[in-house]
């Protein structure tokens, strides 16, 4: 999928420099990774970059050459262009083989159906005319558009976008079309899988607040890696709970949606829109607001805002604070706090670990009176019971 960045110069709440302050977001993108990470970081997010896939061009691939020659063998009625980068790659490969003129002539006589604006732009940049683009920018609508017509005997070339379009192609063939699959590039797992595996562990443990996906192959790569490590169930549970799965569009979201995972996605498949959506969604849905010890507090991700001052917290103090905030004003026993500490301390060190976490929490918060000690019982936030805002 080819995805555009958008102008971020006009400030709004979701483009403010601190909109994502205190939140940790995993990014699985490979293409345009630096730009997308910068969009999130400009809003204050802590970004965990974990490339899931790599794109492998097929300029010298025999399957692409064979598909190109089949396309040239006789007139083509329709050409489905799924991605701009894929179409440009096809034209570049044809030029390398000395077939670019013939391919352009063949495509001129066909209806070019472009899946989205980037694909349409690539077609026009090649000096060709596009016939139709679906409003949803989805392959499903392209399929329905074609199936609404008589496809018997029609020759249709379908430019793939990194993975087989099995159902799409099968439906056209069942309707009587002769389909040429054009594999311009393919997705492979990223060479170094360790960042992705670390991100999976962080998601499963709830150490990140969201993961942003910009392609369906990246989603599949994460699910496959989690399955290999025995963490797929924990990963899906986290995405159905505290960790937000943010997808750039419906094609990207489909592998998660079919597994029952709730996802958020912008109205248009753009990186800028995805960044703004996260900057709007996380502060609205992943922040606990309360007053403790007379101080306004916002608990968000890996940090707490005390009277407007952002204070990052290590994992153990943050775990304690979140558990105390689950029951504002109520006493939480040391034994209960022990259960939420990262690393699972042994029985002998448990009480000391809780005391250390509370000490570090108080030190990080600054003002006294926010976390109170209730002798022989545990700790509580210094606020009226049930005093979340």
pLDDT in tens, 215-245: 888 999 999 999 999 999 999 999 999 999 9
Query: In this structure, are 209 and 254 located in the same domain?
Result: yes
Query: In this structure, are 180 and 63 located in the same domain?
Result: yes
Q: Please check whether residue 6 lies inside any domain of the structure.
A: no
Query: In this structure, are 141 and 264 located in the same domain?
Result: no
Query: In this structure, are 339 and 257 located in the same domain?
Result: no
- Which residues, including other chains, have CB under 8 Å from residue 124's CB and lie 6 or more apart? 130
Cβ atoms of 184 and 58 closer than 8 Å: yes
Looking up tokens 């199936």 gives 147
Query: In this structure, are 180 and 215 located in the same domain?
Result: no
Query: In this structure, are 173 and 142 located in the same domain?
Result: yes
pTM as predicted: 0.76
Query: In this structure, are 65 and 183 located in the same domain?
Result: yes
Query: In this structure, are 90 and 152 located in the same domain?
Result: yes
Where a domain ends, among 140, 172, 187? 187
Where a domain ends, among 237, 265, 285? 285
Q: Please check whether residue 30 lies inside any domain of the structure.
A: yes
Q: Please check whether residue 8 lies inside any domain of the structure.
A: no
The three-point CA angle 42-31-209 to 5° equals 50
Cβ atoms of 178 and 154 closer than 8 Å: yes
Number of domains in the chain: 3
Cβ atoms of 28 and 5 closer than 8 Å: no
Q: Please check whether residue 127 lies inside any domain of the structure.
A: yes
Q: Tell me the average confidence (pLDDT) per consecutive run of 10 residues in the chain, 389 residues long.
A: 45 75 94 91 96 76 90 97 91 92 97 94 96 89 96 96 85 97 87 96 94 92 96 96 93 92 92 95 93 93 92 92 92 92 62 90 91 93 66
Query: In this structure, are 60 and 118 located in the same domain?
Result: yes
Look at residue 216 in the predicted model and tell me its pLDDT: 86
pLDDT in tens, 100-131: 999 999 999 999 999 988 899 999 999 999 99
Cβ atoms of 282 and 343 closer than 8 Å: no
Q: Please check whether residue 207 lies inside any domain of the structure.
A: yes
The domain that contains 227 carries what CATH number? Answer: 3.40.50.10090
- Which residues, including other chains, have CB under 8 Å from residue 144's CB and lie 6 or more apart? none
Domain that holds residue 36: 13-52+190-285
Query: In this structure, are 24 and 70 located in the same domain?
Result: no
Query: In this structure, are 127 and 139 located in the same domain?
Result: yes
Look at residue 10 in the predicted model and tell me its pLDDT: 46
């Amino acid at each position: 999928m080819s995805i555009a960045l958008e102008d971020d110069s006009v400030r709004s709440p979701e483009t403010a420099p601190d909109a994502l302050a205190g939140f940790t977001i995993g990014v699985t993108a490979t293409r345009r990774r630096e730009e997308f990470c910068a969009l999130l970081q400009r809003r204050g997010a802590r970004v965990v970059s974990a490339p899931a896939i790599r794109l492998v061009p097929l300029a010298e691939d025999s399957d692409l050459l064979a598909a190109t020659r089949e396309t040239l063998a006789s007139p083509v009625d329709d050409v489905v262009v799924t991605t701009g980068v894929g179409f440009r790659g096809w034209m570049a490969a044809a030029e390398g083989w000395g077939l670019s003129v013939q391919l352009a002539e063949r495509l001129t006589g066909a209806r070019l159906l472009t899946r989205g604006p980037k694909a349409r732009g690539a077609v026009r940049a090649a000096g060709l005319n596009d016939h139709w683009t679906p409003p949803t920018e989805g392959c499903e609508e392209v399929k329905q558009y074609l199936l609404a017509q008589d496809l018997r005997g029609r020759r249709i070339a379908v430019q793939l976008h990194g993975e087989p379009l099995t159902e799409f192609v099968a439906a056209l063939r069942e309707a009587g079309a002769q389909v040429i699959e054009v594999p311009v590039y393919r997705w492979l797992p990223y060479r170094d899988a360790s960042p992705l595996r670390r991100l999976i562990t962080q998601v499963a443990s709830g150490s990140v607040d969201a993961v942003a996906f910009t392609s369906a192959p990246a989603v599949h790569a994460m699910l496959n890696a989690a399955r290999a490590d025995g963490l797929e169930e924990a990963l899906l549970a986290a995405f159905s709970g505290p960790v937000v799965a943010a997808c750039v569009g419906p094609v990207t979201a489909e592998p998660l949606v079919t597994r029952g995972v709730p996802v958020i996605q912008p109205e248009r498949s753009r990186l800028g829109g995805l960044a703004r959506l996260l900057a709007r969604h996380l502060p609205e849905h992943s922040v606990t607001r309360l007053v403790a010890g007379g101080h306004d507090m916002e608990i968000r991700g890996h940090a707490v805002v005390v009277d407007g001052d952002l204070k990052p917290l290590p994992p153990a103090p943050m775990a304690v604070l979140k558990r105390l905030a689950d029951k504002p004003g109520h006493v939480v026993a040391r034994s209960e706090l022990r259960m939420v500490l990262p690393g699972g301390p042994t029985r002998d060190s448990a009480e000391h670990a809780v005391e250390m976490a509370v000490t570090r929490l108080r030190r990080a918060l600054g003002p006294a009176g926010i976390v109170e000690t209730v002798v022989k019982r545990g700790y509580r936030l210094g606020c009226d019971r049930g005093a979340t805002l």
